[in-house]
Structure 1
Amino acid sequence: MHIVTTIAGSDSGGGAGIQADLKTFQELKVFGTSVITALTAQNTLGVYDVLSIDPSFIEKQFYALLEDFSISAIKTGMLFSADVIQTIANIMADLDIPLIIDPVMIAKGGESLLQQQAIEALRCYLLPLATVIMPNIPEAEVLTGKKIDTPASIKQAAHTLLQLGARCVVMKGGHLSDKKFATDYVFFKDGRSFSMQTARIATNNTHGTGCTFSAALTAFIGSNLPIDQAILEAKKFIQLAITHDLSIGNGYGPTNHFAYHKYKGFCEVIIHE
């Protein structure tokens, strides 16, 4: 049994964070463990409050897992503060375990989930340890300080993140202006690259898409799938989850974590090398 870990915040509404990650792990038949970095009071309408977990207790959670389990992949989501990032980075630096970073900064309703001073800590301490970093366009703009609105600027920003130490960058293109397609761009440190194009779905039920996409990638990498194939299958997982949404709540509803198995992973993803 492959065991994977999510290091993230709790979403009381169940659509994102720890809850979305564990649902995704379960669907993809890996055993999910967790390190909780913050508690949020939220639903599909917004985030009402955030209670951060003391970094010393985050450290205890992480070491408790490492002491008992053979973990095959780790992902990070909401880390909230510079102290939390430093704590996680200090532990990860001594591990030889793939690290997938979802640099969670803003909730779907617009609320900040990462303190401003934490951004530099993310750049300096955690990105150099990343196997894969998966920013959306606004997150990549914050991390690189560059405006991203063209294919050339996407490539330039990705290379900036690779230079910071990440081995692979998945630039999620959902915020780009193309009304017909959503395209994600994948860049590797060795110079390889490709893009994944899927139909854009007209829905507000996209809460937790970044968490779910990165959790699926963590599950596939943790199951020893080659990274290119893992990225493609994770893309299928999130595309199906968005396409067959659950229509839960009155705001930005969650995606459908059951869809990948229900539709047997069948999803058209156009690959451009």
Structure 2
Amino acid sequence: MDDSSLRPRHALSQNFLADVEVLERILEAAAPSPGDRILEIGPGLGILTGGLLGAGAAVTAVELDSRLAARLGERFGAELQAGRAEGSVDQAPGSLRLIEGDALDQDLVHLVPPPYDVVANLPYHITSPILHALLGEEPRPRRLVLMVQREVAERIAARPGAMSYLSVFVQYHAAARVLFRVSREAFEPAPEVESAVIELEPQNGSGRGRVALDPEQEDDFWRLVQAGFRERRKMLRNVLARQLPVDEPRLQAALESAGIAPDRRPQTLAVEEWIALHRALRP
């Protein structure tokens, strides 16, 4: 990059995608159609933004860095003008709405009218809170195609035996899969970690044939899951007895009712088993 004022800022997890083949694979996975509403978080220099606009999508992009927001304004002046002309609700195909600010300060699920998709190369240090913001309440995106750190991608899509709190949270709300890995050399400058592109398809807690919890039950459910993962390598009968205000006989009975052996570890439980345990523990 020849403009020293646009040197990536490590504190903002800025590593700019520079590989056109990777860009094409992301666009193929996202499959934007003319008029599709798309939310992009962290557009950076606009390589993905340009691809989405070129496909005719109506893009809303959130950029924290004022230097990059200014560059995006210069690069996509006509598209921004089209976005302003149509307004924020009926955004024209191929138009751009640019929001300069911290994505964590935005009401993300209300920035774009539904139905909408999220396509983004997420700043890696805010991946978890962004996923909580996008999946934790309605209206959820129709679909998300995201570049994230490879280890995080694998944790999100983990199977029982390697689950984490993030795995349970995402998989409760969405079907998750890793689409492909991305090498360090695809970025400028090359980051210290590998990346991966994931696809999430929200399912409102009722995927794979399970019945979703009522909204008022979800707070208790997440307290249970958090309690389990505070000591993720300990046996459930021990960690939950320490972390929850539940006596041992009641806990033992709940585990038996849910079909969960008391000596299993939290990372071995599937989402459905956590739901079954939560229901067994309810008064």
Q: Same fold (TM over 0.5)?
A: no
Using CA pairs under 8 Å that are at least 6 residues apart, name the structure with larger relative contact order, 1 or 2.
1
Calculate the TM-score normalised by the size of structure 2: 0.34
Higher helix share: 2
Calculate the TM-score normalised by the size of structure 1: 0.35
Higher strand share: 1
Larger Rg: 2
